[in-house]
Amino acid sequence: MASLQKIANELDVSVSLVSKVLNNRLGTTKTRPDVANRIRETAHRLGYRRNASAVALKAGRQNAIAVVIKKHGRHGAGINEAVINGITDAMKGSGQRQSLSFYNQPEEFHELLPQLHSNSIDGLIIAGMRWLPILDDLMAVKQSGVPVVSVFNEPVSDSIPNVGIGDAKLIRLAMQHLIDQGRRCILHASSNKYREAGYFEAMERNGLPVEPEMVYYERGKRSYMPVTARILIERAQQVGIKFDAICCQSDTQAMGAISTLKELGLRVPEDVAVTGVDNSQWAMISDPGITSVSQQFQERGALAVKLLNQIIEGESVADTSLNPELFVRESSGG
Amino acid sequence: MASLQKIANELDVSVSLVSKVLNNRLGTTKTRPDVANRIRETAHRLGYRRNASAVALKAGRQNAIAVVIKKHGRHGAGINEAVINGITDAMKGSGQRQSLSFYNQPEEFHELLPQLHSNSIDGLIIAGMRWLPILDDLMAVKQSGVPVVSVFNEPVSDSIPNVGIGDAKLIRLAMQHLIDQGRRCILHASSNKYREAGYFEAMERNGLPVEPEMVYYERGKRSYMPVTARILIERAQQVGIKFDAICCQSDTQAMGAISTLKELGLRVPEDVAVTGVDNSQWAMISDPGITSVSQQFQERGALAVKLLNQIIEGESVADTSLNPELFVRESSGG
DNA sequence: GCAGTAAAATCAAACTATTGATCAAATGAC
DNA sequence: GTCATTTGATCAATAGTTTGATTTTACTGC
């Protein structure tokens, strides 16, 4: 309830002086130390807190960014929580606030548009997996003058800086690890052409042959689930492929691989090495623990905040890409 | 960029008229339909958006609430994500914004205090597991005039309305289900006196005897992990207890129980039924699927928003408690 | 055509903080 | 003592919206 006015009245000085002292903005005015101290003291005594709205109004800035994230079913992977953690950590203590929304269907994103304008927020961070369905809305937000930064694995549009990681890099990293461990016949299941490309690239570069049944491609949410690993393994066995590793595209898929292998009497990692993606709790709690590639969602969330603020400050920024990190556990025998 | 002023200039009417028309606040003023329409039209044409800060400043309200959540290691349970989902869903379309922070150590919560005053937010929702270490800070926020609602399993303080669920009820629900399935010798591992009480209550009410080795109590984070189930089972076996069910206090613990039982050659649910708590992805993805009690975190987050807004409106609200819900899957033979 | 009333619009203050321009007082030089 | 300069503080405008009080305009009846 204490305003600059109250402090000014209390000490019989002007509001502007109080403002300048409390903000250390003493441009032309070199305030006397005793006056400054009395002002600071009184401010403290009255429990003065800068009124966020008044500052925002005067500055023409909201000191708030919107964060919109695609909901997804893969709860356990902790992806959204990681992004959110990164974002909130990066904003901690900045005084800047964020406003979080989730959407599932494109229409739900559309409904958020009224809130995503420059009179409510200074910028937008959009994160999630599939951006194509909301591209038009996203561009509309951008067009309306709101800076946008995305956290997708692959960039969205030339005009929206993305904090990516490169799906191909993810898989290449896991593949190279498996190959370094001496594995030669590696299976792969994926829902994503970039990831698949990473697989083929790694195999080719190391001169390893790939049979059609070594790869299973399935679009959609199901592709992350355990069942896809089972299909992949059974298909490979049917044609008699003697594989010694499976490069999965998620930790849950890797769990499916491990339990299928156990049922078949194959040991992990002695007979077959397994890797996952996400470095989630699944990977940690699984028995054996799953060697997994982190998509660095927390770091990417934090970086998105940094980039967005740079744009807000008027700098221009480009797409960035972080490097995935490999967390080695027992499943790969590392 | 379009303000009321711009619209007023364009049409040569007063700012206040524009404001009243666009807000449908035509108290004394019964505007002519044609004027009203022209105003609305122009507002739309110029892309007018109400300036959130100006409104907040005038109203002495921030139209923003703070959400502070305790980080915890149990990622996979999706607890924080559920609370956040509930909160953001409940706020969708309200124009109210939320600002999210996480803390781990009590000191980190303390550092958030400068942001938690009535000049930045209208209220605070605090969620997490252990509230005792931050109680003083929480009361300080409350004292400073910021309404607070908590989402803890058990209430914090008489002066802070809580959206709870009752730990005893959680366990009673799972226990009653197991007993209804004909199980008679049920083990239980817990870190929580309320939950333990729920166990004893259910056993007693059904006239079932409890040996000391049927219960394992361990404080702290570890108590939710798979290993506690192993300890519980091994202890019971050492003294020759022939159990037919395990009532776990988390899904991860239940997973530990299932894998330990499998190793021992016991079938789930034929020989031993297992239940968990959280109704998390673990429960869904496990094989067999785990019968689990939901702590209703999403619903509780949404309810917290509702209660907080009631307090902000000046109403007084009391502690609330939702009922847990049982999701039956294969692990209990249901 | 005018009083009286109803309808429709405007006025003006307020919310709080910021900042360049301006004023007043103190100091220094001669 | 006067003028110029430095120092220290105030003025006044501004940001955008809201709202009770007030003024202007329009209409009715005679």
Cα distances (angstroms) measured from residue B145 to each of A127, B111, B148: 35, 18, 9
Closest by Cβ to A100, choosing from B51, B84, B226: B84
Residues B30-36: what's their mean pLDDT? 86
Chain D bases closer than 7 A to any CB of the protein = 7-12, 14-22
Chain segment B90-145, per-residue pLDDT in tens: 999 888 999 999 999 999 999 999 899 999 999 999 998 878 899 999 999 999 99
Chain segment A53-70, per-residue pLDDT in tens: 999 999 999 999 999 999
Chain segment A242-260, per-residue pLDDT in tens: 999 999 999 999 999 998 9
Q: Which residues of B touch A50 (CB under 8 A)?
A: 119
Angstrom distance (rounded) from CA B278 to CA B153: 12
pLDDT higher than 80, residue B29: no
pTM score of the predicted model: 0.92
Angstrom distance (rounded) from CA B188 to CA B14: 71
Chain C bases closer than 7 A to any CB of the protein = 7-12, 14-22
Angstrom distance (rounded) from CA A3 to CA A6: 5
CA torsion through residues A9, A12, A16, A21, sign:
negative
How many separate helices (H) and strands (E) can be counted in chain A?
Answer: 13, 12
User: pLDDT value at position B28?
Assistant: 63
Task: Give the least confident one: A121-130, B24-33, B237-246, B302-311.
Answer: B24-33
User: pLDDT value at position A221?
Assistant: 76
- Is strand C less than 7 A from the beta carbon of B12? yes
Q: Which residues of A touch B99 (CB under 8 A)?
A: 64, 97-99
pLDDT higher than 80, residue A33: yes
Return the DSSP state at A290. Answer: P
Indicate the SS3 state at residue B293: strand
* Closest C-alpha among A259, A263, A230, A225 to residue A331: A259
- % residues pLDDT > 90 (chain A): 80
